[in-house]
Structure 1
Amino acid sequence: MTSAVHQTEHLLFLVLLQLIIMIGAARLMNTVFRRLGQPGVVGEIVAGLMLGPSLFGHFFPGTSTDLFGKTASPPIVILSQIGLILLMFQIGTDFEFGHLKAARNRLATVSVAIASICVPFALGFAIGEASAPTLAPGTDALTYSLFLGVAVAITAVPVLGRILREYGLNQTEIGVVAISAAAINDVVGWVLLAGVSAYATARFSAVQMSLQLGGLAVFIVVLGVVLRPLCDRLLKRLPVRDGEVPPNLMAIVLCLVFAMAIWTFQLGIFAIFGGFAAGLLFHRHLGFVDAWRRQVGQFVLVFFLPIFFTFTGLRTNILGLTGATDMLWLAIVLAAAILGKIVPVYIGGRLAGYSHHESAILGSLMNTRALMELIALNIGFDLGFIPQNVFTMLVIMAVTTTVMTGPLLKLQLPRAGHPVPVGIEA
């Protein structure tokens, strides 16, 4: 066997072994957490962290390095991002925009989006300014504070989408407002992140930012004026038969999803939003959506998503905090992140005409950050503008705010007249 073939076979062996561990651990923790009354996706997040230096890598560093390497291998990185794009497509197809025809829901979406961005960003920025001399003495204070503001402001659309499905909220008024506001939140967040990253690396340009915003506007117009009617024609020519997506249709849709992911990547708002936008093109075709979920959706959730969680977990070490000062700042970050999301969103919901309990549910949903935030954190960390201890604090904040969502929903949903599902969806 030649050296090249041997290396390929060895890489394949490692990747297959990694996949077995990732998928098995995610499914095990999914089951455990659902039995504990948590959404299964929270268990999958915890499984990803457990496989990293926070647990497995801490107690068995040599074995962890042999298995996963010092950093995630390129095949795992690519698989994780492909899975995220496909998940975002699925979330887009699940949208029920009929509820947004009501003026109250449109007002609520805008109010919640603004509240969920502005207040947390301001709080994060203020914490950055206050903590920079202590936590980041060798870092540019303005850049550090801007990164902190963006990190606190982000809401995790993919995980929020899964939680909405698991609790039967994806086609309710509250669910549609939450995911719509979260989508706006994340698009604005990623644009801010791109601007901050460019500024941090001395590449900021008002012209470049204007081109990016102009490209986004063109993308939205093409989405609605050109691609939407083309997709309608496509489904008429290649209709779903007997509850199955024809192979030719599936191939065309996959190519479209990946092409739109490339487009949004080029716009600087990350490839996953191309997948989400592609899903919006098909959400009105319920037969296609149901068939796609059966044929492709379950595979995405069981195979691809654990890879993404583990990829992020391998870069995260939540055991890195030491000392009373770190713990104090962690408490401040947690308080600002939680109250800075829930309270403003609650007020936005009330101003839009929702009841006390409905507004509280909106606040709890928008507080979900999860591992999507870690993408932003990793960018700041890789650029050297978020120190290791601050990175760890923000990771703990992201996981904590996500773990909170399940118990808060179980408490609040019955009060709003929405039953909690007896069996959380796998």
Structure 2
Amino acid sequence: MAKNNSSSTAVPDTAWLGRGRHLGPEAERDVRRNLIALKAAGVIDDFLDLDPVEAARSTDMFPRDESADPGPLARRLFEARWRVADGVTVRAQLTTYDPESRRTESEGVHWVLAAEAERAWEISWPSPATVFWPDSDQVDWDHEKVPGVRLRSTNHLPKDDDELRRLLRDCTRQSWFVHVVVHEAMTPDALGRRPITAFLPPSLRHRVVEHRATPDQALIADFAMKREVGVGLPRGGAVVLPPTPQIPGYDAERFTVRNVFLDGSEPTELLAKIVEFAALPQPLPSDAEQALTRLRQGWHLLTPDEELVHARVMVTRYAKALESMTASCDLYREAAESALAALAEASGGDAPARTPTAAAAAADSSPLKSLTKGLGLFRRPNR
């Protein structure tokens, strides 16, 4: 039985989430170059390139949600901030990871991208993927976690029945993306082989995966899809696949198109179905929820105003922590003095008295000393 890694919550309407694999030689270099170019062109306001370990150390000393930790396989952490229509700010975080297994060279570098806007996301906004990754066919960043599947091209279904069914299971249970299957009524020409995702609004282009069934796969694809995901594939048509578990509002007939002409023209009916499906509340996978938590709780790229607010909050927190520790030290000293007095009384006054100098020396050797010194830096001197 496939593992269900979805939470009971839906993806927030302010968020854009994606993940994939980069199969090129230097993934982080490709991200870095793209961010530098976009900042120089004024497309983004700013960006950061961080080592995940150092980024975690630079965060608050106070406990955070454990899901904000990128994990031991994290390689680099990139943050970017830009503005879209009406000055709405978008914050995004991309983390690159080593694969869990190095059994094959084809695993590449895994990446997870979470972006969030100040208001509900609009599909006409730029894709966060092309803020971090160059939108070029020469950079191999767009491979799905599901092997053999890419975002920016057509993916032909396997000929083998078992492989086909396995692919359908993986795409509907493991993927964060919207999957569409199109049947080619006849072998298309060069224009017809162009991915339909190229016609989608910018923010949907890298959230949709297109699969193609060849003319002779009509029956086998239809049979396998009915068995694995409960929807059929009309000859010469297309269908948007439902995720597992199915989302509220999905109906196979509602998201099926009977005729798709693969002649290079815009398939308006199918595009409308994809946009409608993408607007439905999508389940939030547990690992996507962790990425969103990292974005919200582990953010480093602050504006000057945000840095000032953050500094004030930190001073208040440190002051409260120092006050709490001071009170604890006072209570500890009082308890120690009471214990010494009781010991002296019980021993008839023979026990050595603990002088204030000795108590101060003990306090100096306390493990709290270094922390107290650090916190004391935040106390303003009296004038």
**TM-score under structure 2 length normalisation:** 0.25
The structure whose residues are more often helix, as a share, is: 1
The structure whose residues are more often strand, as a share, is: 2
